[in-house]
Amino acid sequence: MAVTSFLKRRSADLVSWLQAGPMMLVFVLFFLLPLAFVIMVSFWDYNEYEMIPTLTTRGYTETFEGCIAQMPELCTILKTYLKTLKLCFLVWLLTLLIGFTVAYFLAFHVQSKTWQIALSLICTIPFWTSNVIRMIAWIPLLGRNGLVNQGLISAGVIKQPLEWLLFSEFAVVLALVHLFTFFMVVPIFNSMIRIDKRLIEAAYDAGATGWQTLWNVIIPLAKPGMVIGSIFVITIVMGDFVTIGVMGGQQIAAAGKIIEVRLNALQFPAAAANAVILLGVTFLIIASLSRLVDVRKEL
């Protein structure tokens, strides 16, 4: 008995793996193995034109160079990570606030199903278009002679065009919020749409004000979506180098940017060491966030 049920189980597993195997194979070849190679190469040595497979921690020690000697002054890598975390926090806060409000409107204030679908699509369509184009789209608005500066000058608010609108930290945050609020809207909306409307009725009938209902009923129940959205946004911003590069005029240092710079200099082990550090930091953030919610239950 036990043997036949075991065999049956085995053959059922076999069918499942025939179905899921090809996808797993892609992940093994292009995600898991590459990650393993990143960790391996991060402990290799290198010279100007090639990597040398001998065990060394040079990639790491060079990255943290001067961190102890310069104390209490912060070394470059710590400064860069602090700046990345600061950007990350700002973008997270803004995308969360905007994303929550948009999702709340869609889930609770748009009554007709057709409108709900139509408005959700309007929020989604930009996600299917190019990020780079959505970045350069800010140039005619924020540039030295852009619409914002023209408007402010003709309104007499300023005399000289504002220089910090484009190719600045402001522009980076703006573009990141512009690009990635979508990642907050979808999971939060998904959580909200599953809230039993009768709970809200009950809160209302029990005399709760709108704000009390929001704070004590909706936010706790929408928390899983907020956490999932946060994980998306934070990991994207932590590793970003494209938006920070384009919108920062290639002048702002960030965690992802360091890796790109090292790569352009063909210092693969150093790039890999930085990638491992970034991976560690990102993993810590995700691990602490995902304690708040069971991701798999939320799909």
Partner 1 sequence: MREGRSKAFYLLALFFGAYVLFLYGPMFAIFILSFQGPDGGLTFPMNGVSLHWFGKLFSGTGIVDIGAAFVRSLKLGLVVMVLTVVLSVAAGMAFRKRFAGSALLFYTAIGSLIVPSIITSLGIALEFRLIDDFVRKTLVEWGAGSWASEWSTGMGLYTSGLGAHLTWTLPFGLLIMFAIFNRFDGRLEEAARDLGATPWQTFRHVVLPIILPSVVGIGLFGFTLSWDELARSSQAIGPVNTLPLELQGLTTTVTKPDIYALGTLTSAVSFLVIFAALGTIKLLQSRQARHGSDAGKGMV
Closer residue to partner 1 in complex, CB, 66/126: 126
For residue 290, give both structure tokens: 């995902």
Count of residues that interact with partner 1, criterion CB under 8 A: 91
Measured CA to CA, the distance from residue 263 to residue 257 in angstroms comes to 10
Residues 141-160 that bind partner 1 (CB under 8 A): 141, 143, 145-147, 150
Closer residue to partner 1 in complex, CB, 4/114: 114
Residues 83-112 that bind partner 1 (CB under 8 A): 98, 101-102, 104-106, 108-109, 111
Residues 191-230 that bind partner 1 (CB under 8 A): 197, 200-201, 204, 210
Interior angle at CA 174, CA 63 and CA 164, nearest 5:
80
Closest distance between partner 1 and the C-beta of residue 1, in Å? 20
Measured CA to CA, the distance from residue 135 to residue 289 in angstroms comes to 29
Query: Per-residue x/- marks for partner 1, 266-285, CB under 8 A?
Result: --x--xx--x--xx--x---
How does DSSP classify residue 67? T
Measured CA to CA, the distance from residue 254 to residue 83 in angstroms comes to 7
Per 3-state DSSP, what percentage of the chain is helix, strand, and coil (rounded to 5)? 75, 0, 25
Closest distance between partner 1 and the C-beta of residue 72, in Å? 30
How does DSSP classify residue 161? P
DSSP strand pairing (45-46 vs 51-52): antiparallel
Closer residue to partner 1 in complex, CB, 159/197: 197
| Among the listed residues 173, 178, 180, 227, the single contact to partner 1 using CB under 8 A | 178
Closer residue to partner 1 in complex, CB, 136/284: 136
Nearest CA-CA partner of 244 in 234, 231, 254: 254
Closer residue to partner 1 in complex, CB, 212/250: 250
Closest distance between partner 1 and the C-beta of residue 18, in Å? 8
The C-alpha torsion from 108 through 114 and 116 to 120, rounded to 10°, is 170
Nearest CA-CA partner of 228 in 103, 111, 127, 135: 103
Residues 10-69 that bind partner 1 (CB under 8 A): 12-13, 15-17, 19-20, 22-24, 26-27, 29-38, 41, 51
Residues 110-129 that bind partner 1 (CB under 8 A): 111, 119, 121-123, 125-126, 128-129
Q: Which stretch binds partner 1 (CB under 8 A): 58-66, 73-81, 215-223, 234-242?
A: 234-242
**Look-up of token digits 């204030």:** 109
